[in-house]
Structure 1
Amino acid sequence: MNRKKMLLAGILLSLIGLWIGFDLGQYFTLEQAKAQQIALQDTIAHSPLLSSLIFFMLYVAITALSVPGAAIMTLLGAALFGFWWSLLLISFASTIGATLAFLFSRYILRDWVQERFGHRLAAINTGIEKEGPFYLFSLRLIPIFPFFLVNLLMGLTPISTRRFYWVSQVGMLAGTMVYINAGTQLGQIDTLSGTISAPVLVSLVLLGIFPFMAKAIMGWVKQRQVYANWEKPTHFDQNMVVIGAGAGGLVSAYIAAAVKAKVTLIERHKMGGDCLNTGCVPSKALIRAAHAMSEITHAKEFGITTGDVKVDFQQVMARIHNVITKIEPHDSVSRYTDLGVNCIQGDATVLSPWEVEVNGQRITTRNIVIATGARPLVPNIPGLDTVNYLTSDTVWSLTEQPKRLLVLGGGPIGCELAQSFARLGSHITLVEMADQVLIREDSDAAALVADKLVHDGVDVKTGHKAVSFASFTDEQGQQIQHAELEDRHGNIVTVEFDAVMVALGRVANVKGFGLEELGITTTERGTVEVNAYLQTQYPNIFAVGDVAGPFQLTHAAAHQAWYAAVNGLFGTFKKFKADYSVLPAVTYTAPELARVGINEKEAIEKGIAFDVVTYGIDDLDRAITDGTDEGFIKVITPKGKDTILGATIVGHHAGELLAEFTLAMRHGLGLNKILGTVHPYPTMSEAAKYTAGVWKKANAPQGVLAWVEKYHGWMRRTKANDNTAQKTEEKRA
């Protein structure tokens, strides 16, 4: 807190202290008001304007300082000035005073509160930004809720001063009128509670609840309007129809079947979606082959001599497809049919909010879950369509290993595939427009991964973009393919390649199955727009996974699927907002980069006051013995607390190490709990405990330790004195 804020806080506290110290509240009691009423009326009769101004300023001051007295001032003002004039004075004075209290709170406390608790208040801040006036108006209509508390708390939120003022001006009017009406009969009031009778109080509470009732009614009307052009079936064949059998669709169908709902799952291509067939599974199988090659290449470091090693690329690809075949039964039609899911292969078309057509068959359903996934983004770069380009969908059809592979995109997919092909012997050029690969990650973590890519033979070109492609046949009849890359200074670099891998992100599959006809809206990113409950503008149509975003992760899709299924089947009784607060993610390079919660970059962007705890894995015994002593664990905590806001791990099996931090965050366990947990030796998991130890050492209570040190010194001296005394007694004896 700066000096100006401390000065203002000191002045305000001094004024409040004077109010309490001089017991000024004694002059703002019902008895005093009634006793002074006649004398004050005479003064007002002689100087009405000056009296009104003094009353107005005093009312503003009391309200701004949030001290007791506003209620008595309201009653007295009505008795002195009459109903309408007092209503004018008090209505504006109370709002101005409330706004001043709001501004005091905002100026002195908001930055400190948001800095310290911003991560916890994120949801509240978002809600206030969207519907702050609505909630403020409702609170103002209920006089039993302390207005001064509303003023102070609202000052800590993002609501604008202008909105706070006009909403308060209108919202407090009803309660003010009730008090003023009672105040006109001040002489007949015996107690302050008598100003508002029980029926009037109930009426005001109902008035405060009315905006919520109105909101619910408006929501109902809006739903009616959304469904106005559609005829709802009189009965339904299914409780839920799921379109897409990737991770999101499979989990949605599984949950529906598990709770005995009738559910149909429609897939146009292969069960398991991208993850099984073109994504997670084949890429990890390729990474495993590349890791084996790297192990053999570095065998000399472990005292093992190998002969010539050759990569049989066709055998590598054959194993990848064998792995897919081995996992397929987990996502197969037969398994899900046994679970009670009606599986259909075909192209689904959404005909109405309750009808889906597939293979000429119309299915009526109470709920629909859209889980159609995404496809690789292919940019409109001149000449790209004339060269041999691959995507994460088509790369698995390769039968020959490209000698020279150009990879566009330094995200997780680009980095994983670039390193894998490089370890298998391809010459790789990786192009990334940003200044670092893995742009969402902290620069130190991304730099460590980039260094390892270079070590494995990848030519990493950050700050470059592909501007054109060309293909031609040379004099020897060889096809030559090349790309022109442009750096930030406009310099052009030409790179020849045998194949180019496009890994620039993915585009949601939102077209071609009826969403356009229903008018379902999409976001700027091209994903289906959903609310916190994963509902589209049609409350019975949900979207999960890559088609909805914001995360393109298999486990994120499965996580969303639970909410969509439960909200669709049981939303009449209870709905659940999707919670993304503890969502882990891993980039499977070597070393792996794993993260949960916020990283240092995001903490700075959010303006959170935080501490960074870092432990170097090169200090870990098991990592040293395994020859994987590289990387680090970085944990973000609030200042002086062991609460885990986020963890970033770069190292061997970082994804496995991340689980302990994810569990701790999910269940509110801090670093002290991790430190107090016994970890087997020697294991990589000890890195979590040692990270907690780094935090503990940095946050050790130095004052207490100083006293403990003195105590130990005293104990040493006391023991020595005891021995000397004992020997002296023995000699005397």
Structure 2
Amino acid sequence: MKKPLIFLAIALLAAILVLLVGRMSLDLAALQSYLDGLSDWMAEKPVAVAVIFFVTYVAVTAFSLPLAVWMTLAAGALFGFWWGLLLVSFASTAGATLAFLASRYLLSDWVHDRLGARLATIDEGIRRDGAFYLFTLRLIPAVPFFAVNLLMGLTPMRVTTFYLVSQIGMLAGTAVYVNAGTQLGRLDSVSGILSLPILLSFALLGIFPWVARFALSAVRRRRLYSRWNRPSRFDRNLVVIGGGAAGLVTAYVAAAVKAKVTLVESHKMGGDCLNYGCVPSKALIRSAKLAHQMRAADRYGLEPSEPRVSFTHVFDRIRDVISAIEPHDSSERYEGLGVEVLQGHATLVDPWRVEVGMADGTRRRISTRSIVIATGAAPFVPPIPGLEQVDYLTSDTLWDALAGRNDPPRRMVILGGGPIGCELAQAFARLGSDVTQIEMQDRILIREDPEVSDFARDALEADGVNVLTGHKAVACGSSDGRKWIEVQAGATSRRIDFDEIVVAVGRAARLEGYGLDKLGIRTDRVIETNAYLETLYPNIFAAGDVAGPFQFTHTAAHQAWFASVNALFGFVKRFKADYRVIPWATFIDPEVARVGLNEQDARDKGIEYEVTRYGIDDLDRAIADGAAKGFVKVLTAPGRDRILGVTIVGEHAADLLAEFVLAMKQGLGLNKILGTIHIYPTLAEANKYAAGEWRKAHVNATVLRWLEWLHARRRGA
């Protein structure tokens, strides 16, 4: 209770003082009259007057009283320009710092408890650029100074930083008003202070912080690049390293705006998504779904049958699908667009030069104004003893390893309970393998809400997957002609035999072998970039899986636009990568799709929310299709239809999610979705019905009672 009582006491005292000040006559005539009354005392005891003035000014600023302008004018009139400037400059900064400290002590914890993670971005911005923001506000008081003092107290800005920046930032404006005070006898209104020269001075003050920031940036760049020999001219505007989703889009944008661009790919064009990830896995999932439907044909009034699965034919189809899509990402297509495509391994020599080890053994060095690193990610292989001895597969290598066999592996272990592991586990189980899925966490799809994880687990187990959660893989080996993995759950351990094991515990960014360490480009799990996707060097960018924070093809393409535009046109205007609305999906059956917050995210971040649910088992089209399972769950701001996040579980959930992605991106609420005509009967109606559930839950009961009374009167009742 200590802080609230102190806060109430200060607020009451400030309110009383403001009330008293409000009763005072505040104009130039009154100020001149007060100063005349002080003239004799000033002549006798100038030091005492100065001390009392200083203390009073500090109190006025600390309590945010509306007297600062008048006291600043008085300082000039009483003490002259230099002494007045000295007194006001230090008194105003001292008072502002007291208000800053009071806000931090009394309000900061309360505000952070209430807003939680929503302040994280602001706090990070203040840590990075807080001094500049404060300096700008002090020079251009777009926000009243008392508000700046209180708001900055809620941030992690250091007290010394606040004091010093305020001392310097307020000096110019203080000088203007103190100087005007020295001419007080000639002023007939406060507007007389703002003569044309002074207005121009303020305009220059407004430009100054941006000029200063540009100058500081230029100094940093000069220091950063000083140890490198910059070319006098460049072979290319842009070199892109990596021919996956991010690299291809980057090169496409550059070519579209007629820049000279070189794309370097060390393996296969199209990257992981085309060759090992999205495309082959979805082709596999489609074959597996058809096998499942054949077994369950009696649900549709047909004779069920056990499919005869030929892995040779399944994998032939996968290769055909890749071949059909391959031309979209081919070297020929991009060369036709004007991109120079090189097959080889690229290494950064310095910030402007890339050396390419060509496929034929030769080496070529290219100078370029900008570089985009888009080297993607590879499967992460955990350090499990004996894993190397059992010929493990990954989501990259299984396509070639299993393509030559006719029958599916009899016993498979899928290590990992994330999206990749779940998709592969269900697909191979449906194609006839006896699948055991091992996950160290207490549930699969750990990033989703628990009910979604439970739904997914039920779906996998219904297809025959033996899902082991809370089990840690501790060893692998081979004995007596059999392969095994040892897992531990609590104090109990056991061995599971298998014919094939697929490691699908996540993917790690490709960071080695590109010369990043030589240039000092910082890496952790990914390449460190700023909001513009710039690395340590402003002309070297990173995009896609290698940059994080998401490992999705669509976010890689999204980042690529920002990286390419900033690389080519950043000298004019830079754009911050926008991650506000990022959707994703796990393509098990039924699908799991999400955008924005789910309940566990909202709770972790301290964000208040309401939940609206619609069960897809009530949807006409889903019933007709035999897909009446799943739900739409929407999180909204309390009492409002603003969408915070959506989770959909069900048939074609990833397709249904697009409407909510658009709504969130464009700031449209559930009422707009409810008011949109959806074709009947379609699965997309689930979105409208979910919006309708929200609307029903927010009907005003009082209005309904009045309407009931109105209709009764109109019936003559």
Aligned mates of 2:323, 2:350 — CA distance in 1: 37
The reply to whether residue 211 of structure 1 matches residue 212 of structure 2 is: no
Q: In the aligned structure 1, how far is the partner of 2:51 from the partner of 2:147?
A: 26
Decide whether the 8 Å contact of 1:143 with 1:175 is kept in 2. no
Mapped to 1, the partners of 2:548 and 2:54 lie a distance apart of: 54
Q: Name the counterpart of 1:378.
A: 381
Mapped partners of 2:381, 2:126: distance in 1: 39
Partner of 2:714: 715
Correspondence for 1:227 among 225, 228, 231: 225
Relative to 1, partners in 2 of residues 1:352 and 1:18: Cα closer, same or farther, differing over 3 Å?
closer
Alignment correspondent of 2:518:
517
- After superposition, give the CA deviation of every residue in 1:523-545 in whole Å (9 maximum; x if it has no partner): x21x2222222222222222211
Distance of 1:693 and 1:105 partners within structure 2: 44
State the alpha-carbon separation in 1 of the partners of residues 279 and 585 from structure 2.
Answer: 14
Call closer, same or farther: CA 1:229–1:14 in 2, change over 3 Å. closer
CA contact (8 A) 1:114 1:608 kept: no
Query: Is 2:541 the partner of 1:542?
Result: yes
Per the normalisation by structure 2, the TM-score is 0.90
- Assess if the C-alpha contact under 8 Å between 1:388 and 1:498 holds in 2: no
State the partner residue of 1:249. 247
Instruction: Indicate conservation of the 8 Å contact 1:182/1:196, yes or no.
Output: no
In the alignment, is residue 407 of structure 1 matched against residue 410 of structure 2? Answer: no
Q: How many Å separate the matches in 2 of 1:697 and 1:156?
A: 39
TM-fit CA distance, 1:598:
2.1
For 1:387, the equivalent position in structure 2 comes to 390
1:469 aligns with 2:467: no
| Structure 1 position 7, deviation (Å) | 10
Are 2:451 and 1:444 aligned?
yes
C-alpha separation in 2, matches of 1:465 and 1:336: 45
Q: Amino acid of the residue matched to residue 611 of structure 2? A: V
CA distance in 1, matches of 2:709, 2:94: 58
Change (3 A) 1:249 1:114: farther
Q: Tell me which residue corresponds to 2:554.
A: 555
Matched residue type, 1:405: M
The residue type paired with residue 483 of structure 2 is Q
Q: Deviations over 1:385-424 (max 9, x none)?
A: 1112110111112134222222221111111111111222
SS at match of 1:346: strand
- 1:190 deviates by 3.6
CA contact (8 A) 1:16 1:67 kept: no
Q: How far did residue 64 of structure 1 move?
A: 4.2
Aligned-residue RMSD, C-alpha: 3.1
1:167 is aligned, of 165, 168, 172, to 165
Return the letter of the residue paired with 2:695: K
- Contact 1:133–1:163, Cα closer than 8 Å, also in 2: yes
Measured against aligned partners, the alpha-carbon deviations of 1:313-362 in whole angstroms (never above 9, x if no partner) come to 22222211121112112212222222222222222233333333332233
Deviations 1:276-301 (A, max 9, x none): 11000111111111111221222223
CA-to-aligned-CA distance 1:709-732 (integer Å, 9 cap, x gap): 22222222xx35xxxxxxxxxxxx
Instruction: Give, as a single letter, the amino acid of the residue that structure 2 aligns with 1:232.
Output: R
Q: Is the 8 A contact 2:384 2:475 kept in 1?
A: yes
Letter matched to residue 240 of structure 2? V
- More displaced stretch, 304-313 vs 644-653: 304-313
Q: Is the 8 A contact 1:614 1:632 kept in 2?
A: yes
Q: CA deviation at 1:158?
A: 5.2
Which amino acid is 2:250 matched to? S
Where structure 1 has 5 or more consecutive residues not aligned to the other structure, the ranges are: 721-733
Q: Please give the residue correspondences for 1:52-201 in structure 2 after superposition, counting only pairs within 5 Å.
A: 55-56=53-54, 58-80=56-78, 90-99=88-97, 101-102=99-100, 124-142=122-140, 146-154=144-152, 157=155, 159=157, 163-195=161-193, 198-200=196-198
In the other structure, the counterpart of 1:484 is 486
Name stretches of at least 5 consecutive residues in structure 2 with no aligned partner.
Answer: none
- The CA distance in 2 between the partners of 1:144 and 1:269, in whole Å, is 54
State the TM-score, normalizing by the size of structure 1.
0.88
In structure 1, C-alpha distance between the alignment counterparts of 2:27 and 2:61, rounded to whole Å: 16
Q: 1:129 to 1:712 in 2, by over 3 A?
A: farther
Structure 1 letter corresponding to 2:432:
G
CA distance in 1: counterparts of 2:430 and 2:454, whole angstroms: 19
Within a 5 Å distance, the mapping from 1:320-335 to structure 2 comes to 320-335=318-333
Determine the C-alpha separation between the residues in 2 that align with 1:581 and 1:257.
28
Q: Distance in 1 between matches of 2:102 and 2:636?
A: 29
Q: CA deviation at 1:9?
A: 6.9
8 Å CA contact 1:528, 1:536 repeated in 2: yes
Change over 3 Å in CA distance of 1:134–1:235 after alignment to 2? closer
Native 8 Å contact 1:598 1:636 kept in 2 = yes
Kept in 1: contact 2:115–2:606 (CA 8 A) = no
What secondary structure sits across from 2:643 in the alignment?
coil
| Counterpart Cα distance in 1 of 2:48 and 2:468 | 76
**Structure-2 change in CA distance of 1:144 and 1:671 (3 Å):** closer
Q: Distance in 2 between matches of 1:76 and 1:681?
A: 76
- Are the equivalent residues in 2 in contact too, given 1:465–1:485 (CA < 8 A)? yes
Q: Within 5 Å, which residues of 2 pair with 1:43-54?
A: none
Provide Cα deviations, 1:33-78, integer angstroms capped at 9, x if missing partner.
2112232344567787876676456434543454422111222245
Deviations 1:401-459 (A, max 9, x none): 22222222111111111111122222222222222212222222222112212222222
* 1:530 match: 529
Determine the structure 2 residue equivalent to 1:632. 631
For 1:455, which of 436, 441, 462 is the aligned residue? 462
Partner of 2:582: 583
Query: Which residue number in structure 2 is paired with residue 259 of structure 1?
Result: 257
Q: CA deviation at 1:583?
A: 1.6
Give the aligned residue type for 1:336. Y
Query: Does the aligned pair in 1 maintain the 2:294–2:306 contact within 8 Å?
Result: no
CA distance in 2, matches of 1:17, 1:453: 68
1:634 alignment partner, SS class = strand
Q: What residue in structure 2 maps to residue 723 of structure 1?
A: none
Aligned-partner SS, 1:552 = coil
- Give the match for residue 347 of structure 1: 345
Aligned partners of 1:611 and 1:638 also within 8 Å: yes
Q: CA distance change for structure 1 residues 411 and 308 in 2, over 3 Å: closer, same or farther? A: closer
1:574–1:200 CA distance, 2 compared to 1 (3 A): same
